[in-house]
Amino acid sequence: MSFQAAIFDLDGVVTRTASVHAAAWKELFDEFLERRAGGGAFEPFDERADYRAYVDGKPRIEGVRSFLRARSIALPEPEVQSLAARKDAFFERRLHERGVETFASTVSLVEALRARGVRTGLVTSSRHGGEILELAGLARLFDARLDGNDQQALGARGKPHPDMFLKCAEALGAAPGQAIVFEDAVSGVQAAARGGFGLVVGIDRGGNARALEHAGAHAVVADLAELDVARLEKLWRERRNAREAPRRPGA
């Protein structure tokens, strides 16, 4: 294989838990905004637009801060921390009510890569990453996995900083330039691009392709069913050739 490792985001890439997160964020912020409006009109949290713009892929506390900034709301830090804790409780309740669904196409690709000797890793900002993988029965598919608990223990910065992807590549024994990252969040694509990964694949789960490309994705697909190992090899070679091509005179 031309590349040594493949690193996957969790929510929206491996598991269908992004919708569970979005619903938990909506429950949290709609309750908060309604209370703040004192019974008057308020603009509710949009599970698609607000989720993708302000909280998708980010550590929970940063998601709270990002959305509050967007609404020009300033709160004392203890209240921000309280909102983050409530979101976690809402998510965990929904997770155990609904269970964990996976993207079969992603699981198939992970298995195909492992069969070819590619080391696989998983990175998520969620503190429930390990729990979700166990519930889904997928823990065996990843040689290294880092979640929000590891991020705190390592003192690593969250997405869009590349710290967690870099730590995962290190755990897999691969240089960033020899690894592929699969992400559906703009902040995650930005992190992988900033980390210098050899190939960054964006997954557009709903009209987000242009934003993913702008963030640094080298290729964007609607689902990983569009890719197999041979296609990834081709994308990898094309990306490598583009990096190695001599600059034109005057460029």
3-state secondary structure 187-206: HHHHHHHHCCCCEEEEECCC
Cβ pair 57, 159 in contact under 8 A:
yes
Which residues are identified as catalytic? Answer: 9, 11
Element (H, E) at 91: helix 77-98
Which residues neighbour 117 within 8 Å (Cβ) at sequence distance 6 or greater? 1
Sign of the CA dihedral running 138, 19, 148, 186: positive
Instruction: Tally Cβ neighbours within 10 Å of residue 137.
Output: 11
* CA pair distance 212, 208, nearest whole angstrom: 6
Tokens 């050899």 -> residue: 198
φ, ψ dihedrals at 179, nearest 5°: -130, 155
Q: Please count the residues of the chain.
A: 251
